Every structure is written in structure tokens, then in C-alpha cells.
Homo-oligomer: A and B are copies of this chain.
Amino acid sequence: MAPGARLEIMTAAPDPAAPDLATAPAAPDLIARLRTALPAESLLTDPDVTASYAHDMASFCAAGTPAVVVLPRTVEEVQHVMRTATELRVPVVPQGARTGLSGAANASDGCIVLSLLKMDRILEIDPVDRIAVVEPGVVNAVLSRKVNELGLFYPPDPSSWEMCTIGGNIGTASGGLCCVKYGVTAEYVLGLDVVLADGRLLKTGRRTAKGVAGYDLTRLFVGSEGSLGIVVRAVLALKPQPPQQLVLAAEFASTEAACAAVCKIMEGGHTPSLLELMDRTTVRAVNAMAQMGLPETTEALLLAAFDTPDPAADLAAVGALCAAAGATEVVPAEDHAESELLLQARRLSLTALEAVKGTTMIDDVCVPRSQLGALLEGTARIADKYGLTIGVCAHAGDGNTHPTVCFDAQDPDESRRARASFDEIMALGLELGGTITGEHGVGVLKKEWLAREIGPVGIEVQRSLKQTFDPLGILNPGKLF
């Protein structure tokens, strides 16, 4: 990490609207108070240990030093933590597996890090009501596999699904590869138990398929990055498990042609179970890392999949649309093993791009899919302008791109250019009618950009909501706005 670049963020002027919090808290008093209702093993105070809870996986995001890490096991323990924090005016930073990409889980100085990792029970899975009831620390893949055993399906599949938790997914409203057909995490959260800033327990939503009793508080918490309350239990909607998907790969001589194919597929009424794009830089990075034998001469590789009763027929129709849009090669996978290999290549993309120069900044711009071609073309221009390698992989069916800026964090100039290009891609996304974040969240990384996207009235309203739920400003301060 370039020290200059990090400094630039860390010395940002404090928010004048933020209430005074204990910045150098009386740690012994805090810890003594926490101990009154928490077992010793649930409190981590060794600075070497607590330091490892300071940040998530985002670059360029300031992180402070926690006073203590708390790992509660019950709702009552979380309530005790929040009551103590309210009394002592200590900031609380909730955390899942810290796989986030926006710094939303980064510690503030003197904070309580509230890690939900030990609340990891699956409480209920009901195949008739098609729901699961879980604690926030359940790992996404653990839940996904468990419901699969019962013929059910929990679609949300962020890249980090083997590590990330349901609580983290809810906090950041995570997406994944499945969204073009199955939507994002938000669409699977029916109800929540939330511990509020002052320790009260709020139950939102329902266990039923439908329900409109009062304001939709559930959705307000999804994607709120721990800034409104602590999710301690979730009722999740499940779907029946679909047939295994079959994948097709199509090569294009330009990203423009690949994006045109995406538009034709969606306009044609197809709904693939995934529709992903990897540009040339990404394809080469994946080959370099894992010798996958992907076609290095292609400018853009499109992967489409169907989990329908007759996926081969659907792939044939989509393959024809790709060919009509100028695909140089259309290769349906022969079987599920070959399909899985193609998906593995896509899943390796971000890791492979990280290996290019050692560090990456992963953008998350989502545009109306009709603007996908313009975004990719503009991203290439921005890479040229700054003399940088920017690989793009995209949930193309959603218009959600991850332009990934590859840079050497030891090189201050390159680091500065990386940040500038990262910002310029967001500006382009907004120009094209898009959003600065399709699925990774705002966190610390995109705070200034949130205001640009939602405008002054939007920011006023969002701040007043924050104030309503957290008048002392103790919940994950410094995130979002």
C-alpha cells in the first residue's frame, strides 16, 4: 500500500455533524463493563490479536485501532454490548468474515469490534415454507450446501461465498453470479431480529411469503453496513433447487460485440442463470495463474448458463444470438465438468488480476445493460490515459462491472493514478445512468461518491434516518456518509 495514498484518506476532515465519541476510551473501564455479562473467552484485548480485526479486504481505506474485539454467542450478549457502548459512548463496528471490498467493516480508533462469527447456528430449515432461520455468523457456503441436501436452493453467491457470512451479506446487500436470474441478497431476506444502538431488540418482517404490515424495515437494514443496528437473526427465503446449469463460452473480437450480444440475449427474452464477461486482460491473467487454456486471442469472453429443464436448447438459442452479434467462436460445454471449469475460470478472475501487479482496486459500477458497451469502451480509454492495466470482469447480464485496476502499491505515483482511474470509472458510470456500487457497498471507499450519486436531498434524508436509529452516532461511524 502506498503510504501517501492511505494518508490522503486518513487525514480527511472529521465530519462536523458527528457527535463526540470517546476517541481514547477508558479501555479498562469499558472492558470491565463488558465482562459483567460476557465470558472471558468472548473478549479479545491483546493488541496483536485485535489488530488483525482492523480491516476488511479493500485497498485505500483507513482503519483505526480497536479497543477490544467482542465475540458474542447470544442475542442477550449483543444487547449487553450495545447497552454498554451507549452508556460509555463507544463506537461499535460490526463484522462478519471481513471479506468486504469497501472498508465497511474497518475499525475506528477505540471502537468495540463486534464480530458475529460465533453466532453461527442454522436454527431452522423448512422445505414447505421454503425458509431458513439463521444466525448472522453462518457462512454462506455452509448454508447453501445444507439447504441443497434438502433439495432447496439459497441463490446469493458472492465470490467469497466459501468464507463470507450471511450477516455480512445482509450488511452489504451482496450479489454474485446468480443475480441475472435470481436477484441479490436483499430479495431473500424476509425478516430480521436486530439489536438497536441502545440495546432494544427489534423484530422486522415475517416468516410468510407475503406481508405488508407497516413500513418495510427489513430492507432498510439490508445494505446498511451495520450503521443502523446489529442483525442477530435472519429469516431467509429459499427456492427449490434447479437442475444443474450448463455453460456456453463465446469469444468476441471486441468488447463492443460481446456487449451487443448481451443486449440481444436479454432483449430476446432469455433469462440465463448467469451471463458473465471477461475481457482479454482478465482471460490472460487467469491463464497465467492457473493454465486454464482459455483463448488468449479473444478480446472478450462471454459465459452464459441455463439451469432450465432443457439447458442445451436454451444455450443453442443464445449461441445463435452470439454468432449473429459477431462471436468468433461459440462453444457449449459438453457436460457439467466442463461447465464447472469455465465457472472456475470466472471465479478466479479477481485473484488472477491481483497477481498482475501485486495490488488491485476493484470497482463495482453497475449501468443499465444497454450502456455496458459504452462503459467498457470508456474504461479502456481511462486505462490508456493513466497508463494502467485495468482488467474487466462483469456480471454482464446485470450491467454490473468490476473494472479492476492493477497497480504496484510500492509505487506512489502509480498508486495515485490507480485511485484517479478508479474514481473516473465511477464518474463515467454515473454519466451513463448507473450506480457507483452494484453489490460491494459504499463503506469508506466511496463515501464522497455516494453524495454525487444520490444528491443533496438524498443525503439529507439518509442522514436523518441514521440519526433516527443512532442518535449518538456509535454504530459503525464514518461509513456511508
Question: Which A residues fall within an 8 A CB radius of B?
Answer: 126-131, 151, 172-173, 175, 179-180, 184, 186-187, 196, 200-204, 206-217, 219-220, 222-224, 228, 239-241, 263, 266-267, 269-271, 308-310, 366-370, 395, 397-400, 433-442, 446, 450, 453-455, 457-458, 460-462, 464-465, 467-469, 480
Given A126-B370, A269-B241, A370-B128 in contact, is the A438-B208 Cβ separation under 8 Å? yes
Contact of A433 among B127, B128, B207, B368 (CB under 8 A): B207
Q: Are B214 and A128 in contact (CB under 8 A)?
A: no
Complex alpha-carbon distance, A204 and B216, angstroms: 15
Q: Are A217 and B179 in contact (CB under 8 A)?
A: no
Residues of B within 8 A of A453 (CB): 213-214
User: Chain B: which residue is nearest A464 at the CB level?
Assistant: B468
Complex alpha-carbon distance, A468 and B469, angstroms: 11
Residues of B within 8 A of A462 (CB): 214-215, 217
Residues of B within 8 A of A270 (CB): 240
Q: Are B480 and A210 in contact (CB under 8 A)?
A: no
Complex alpha-carbon distance, A89 and B269, angstroms: 50
User: Chain B: which residue is nearest A440 at the CB level?
Assistant: B212
User: Chain B: which residue is nearest A224 at the CB level?
Assistant: B215
Q: How far is the CB of A480 from chain B (nearest CB, A)?
A: 7
Q: Are A173 and B212 in contact (CB under 8 A)?
A: yes
Q: Are B369 and A211 in contact (CB under 8 A)?
A: no
Report, nearest first, the 6 A-B pairs whose CB atoms are least far apart: A240-B269, A219-B219, A209-B398, A211-B435, A210-B438, A173-B212
Q: How far is the CB of A310 from chain B (nearest CB, A)?
A: 7
Q: Are B222 and A465 in contact (CB under 8 A)?
A: no
Q: Are A367 and B208 in contact (CB under 8 A)?
A: yes
Q: Are B208 and A266 in contact (CB under 8 A)?
A: no
Q: How far is the CB of A301 from chain B (nearest CB, A)?
A: 21
Complex alpha-carbon distance, A172 and B213, angstroms: 10
Complex alpha-carbon distance, A211 and B441, angstroms: 9
19 contacts between A and B (CB under 8 A): A126-B368, A126-B370, A128-B368, A128-B369, A129-B369, A173-B212, A196-B461, A208-B438, A209-B366, A209-B397, A212-B223, A213-B437, A213-B453, A215-B462, A216-B219, A217-B458, A240-B269, A308-B309, A309-B309
Q: Are B127 and A213 in contact (CB under 8 A)?
A: no
Q: Are B151 and A213 in contact (CB under 8 A)?
A: no
User: Chain B: which residue is nearest A209 at the CB level?
Assistant: B398
Residues of B within 8 A of A263 (CB): 128
Q: How far is the CB of A96 from chain B (nearest CB, A)?
A: 16
Q: Are A369 and B209 in contact (CB under 8 A)?
A: yes
Residues of B within 8 A of A267 (CB): 127-128
Complex alpha-carbon distance, A196 and B460, angstroms: 12
